[in-house]
Amino acid sequence: MGRHRGKYAEEPSGERQRRRGRGGAVAALAGALVIVLAIVAAGVYVLVDRSDGCGSQLDLDVAVAPEMAPAVQAVADGFNEEENTVDGQCVRVDVRQADPADVAYAITGSGATMGDTESDVWIPDSSVWPRLVQSEAGDAIITETGTSLARSPLVLAELEEHADDSSESSWEDVVPTGAPGEDQDRTVRVVDPVRSSTGLGTLYLLHGALQESSDDADTFNAHMTAALQSLHQGASADEEAAFLALSGGDAEAPPLMVMSEQAVWRYNTLHSEAPAQAGYLDSTYYLDYPYVVRSEESAVTRAAEEFRNAVRADENQEHFQSEGFRDTDDTMDADVLSADAGFQEDVPEELPVPSEGSIDELTRSWTQLKMDSRVLTIVDVSGSMLAEVPGTGMTRMQVTGAAAGDGLDMFTPTSELGLWEFSTDVNDGLHHQELAPVRELQATDDDGTEHRDTIAQELDGLEPLPDGDTALYETYLAAYEEMSRTYRPDRTNVILMLTDGDNDHPGGMDLDELLDGIDELSSPSRPIPIITIAFGPEVEDVESLQEIAAATGGAAYRTEDPREIGEIFVQAFSLRIDDSGTGGAGGGS
């Protein structure tokens, strides 16, 4: 009968010894595993310890306007030391400087940018930038949190040695808005509004002031054009160039500069030997440094919220005030923004942030005027130009030449201008004569004379033809043909006609022939507006001039007094900021 061995049956002694040997090996292996696990556990502990007690790290990339970077970095340093966590991950804030315009144009794709513009959080200097993004790139991830980190009003900066007790009270007082040739007490400069919220804010403030003070749209457009033209003459490409201009380092007379209050403080820290004074107006625009989130990832947005709470914590406000900012309730550190430099605790009335539509309108207006003009000016030299202008002792020709000469001041050195005279049969059967070709005003002629001076000399030397009639329509068409043939798409191509009479050329071209000729040459993608300034009692057919203006997107203006040409000249070129683009018959007495 066989033997059955159950679970607890005894084993022979030999078996027990052999199994004990195998058991010892297993025990040894188990011990080794314990040691390995202990080492692994220790390693994990070391790794966790190197992450400051967190399982992993979540990086929060914060792009901030350069002037605010030191203050935000100081907050970030303390925040990172506190081991703030989201889902068990330590949040580490990485702060870097990013020009607000670079970020905005990178998102919209509407302008040149430099550097890395991606980030989880964006702190530009003004809410105008996220509004611009939302206007031009509606699908962009832009979440405005309603949080402002600090504030800084726009002020007027002037070197201390040039500052005086008399100060402007409104933005209309700051920027010249008169006709070309009007004397200006000083140069007012801004940073290019396309790249700077300070510059854009200045346009916005000026736009509002002129709207309130102008009686009608024509007056507003004329004054706004003159103001923009004045600002264009001395616009700085960036803040560094603005600082140089303010210091007088660009070899020009030190200007009156529109800057943020904090920028004046920064300027003074760099130029303590020749500091600037801050001047305040009755109302102004404020930089507000909004906190914007650019991610929709849950962990990132919660990390951004943690850091938002940190930058707005009461204990961190000193970081911002020590850098020349005001708190969101306009509290400032009087030891930083000192009264010696003109800083004042009482703040001006705050004007609202421009709307999306206003931003588009203002930047478009600035860009249109920034685009250099290409103008062919045509002056009537018919016999009627010999008539005397009552009360002046000057002929119409002399008054017109002087007014047109003043108009040269509107144009930048890189603008292109040409000059024709016209009447009947002035040039071997032609009714026009070129006196100066269309070329840059800063170019030099063969004799070394600057082209601007050549045109001024030709205007001074214009002589009417006593028996000359007014071949107006033939001259219009010849000018349109010439400007079409030499069209420059990178410039504003314009024909400017100055005449004291209606079309007067028996047997010559009629209005329908002229309009047909223009229609054959014109193209919506190559606009060439004709602007006519007609003066004198002989001008009766204003309707025909208006038809020509309407056919080309130009304008027709009439006045009894050629002395008003300078003012109308500005009003005419305000078409470039007038959305209607149609103009009309201007008034005048």
Q: pLDDT (tens digit, 9 = 90+) per residue, 236-265?
A: 888 888 898 888 766 566 678 999 999 999
Q: Say which CATH class 371-586 falls into.
A: alpha beta
What CATH architecture applies to the domain 57-151+289-321? 3-Layer(aba) Sandwich (3.40)
Q: In the predicted model, what is the mean pLDDT of residues 360-381?
A: 82
pLDDT of residue 482: 96
pLDDT in tens, 533-548: 888 888 888 899 999 9
Do residues 159 and 269 lie in contact, with contact meaning Cβ atoms separated by under 8 Å? no
Calculate the average pLDDT of the chain: 82
What residues does CATH 3.40.190.10 cover in the chain?
A: 57-151+289-321
- Give CA–CA dist 411/207, Å, rounded: 21
pLDDT digits (tens, 9 = 90+) for 124-137: 999 999 988 988 88
End-to-end Cα, the chain, rounded Å: 143
Concatenate the DSSP letters of all residues of 112-139 into one string: ---S----SEEE-S-THHHHHHHHH-TT
pLDDT surpasses 50 at 584: no
pLDDT of residue 322: 97
For residues 499-506, give the mean pLDDT.
87
Q: What is the pLDDT of residue 554?
A: 85
Beta strands in 200-293 (DSSP E): 256-260, 276-279, 283-284, 286-287, 290-293
Give the per-residue pLDDT at 69: 97
Q: State the helix-helix crossing angle for 356-370 and 197-213, rounded to 10 degrees.
A: 100
| pLDDT for position 300 | 97
Looking at the chain, the domain(s) classified CATH 3.40.50.410 span 371-586
Question: Other CB atoms closer than 10 Å to residue 373's CB: what's the count?
Answer: 20
Q: Looking at 35-44, 60-69, 282-291, 348-357, which range is the least confident one?
A: 35-44
Mean pLDDT of 138-148: 89
Q: Dihedral of CA 154/156/161/166: which sign?
A: negative
Q: Residue 527: which of 577, 489, 565, 579 has the closest Cα?
A: 489
346 contact partners, CB below 8 Å, separation of at least 6: none
| Predicted local distance difference test score (pLDDT) of residue 50 | 38
Asked if pLDDT for residue 562 goes beyond 50, the answer is: yes
For the four alpha carbons of 183, 203, 322 and 96, in that order, the dihedral sign comes to: negative
Higher pLDDT, 34 or 419: 419
pLDDT of residue 585: 37
**Over residues 27-40, mean pLDDT:** 42
Q: Which residue has the tokens 């007012």?
A: 188
Q: What is residue 24's predicted lDDT score, i.e. its pLDDT?
A: 46
Is the per-residue pLDDT at 11 higher than 80?
no
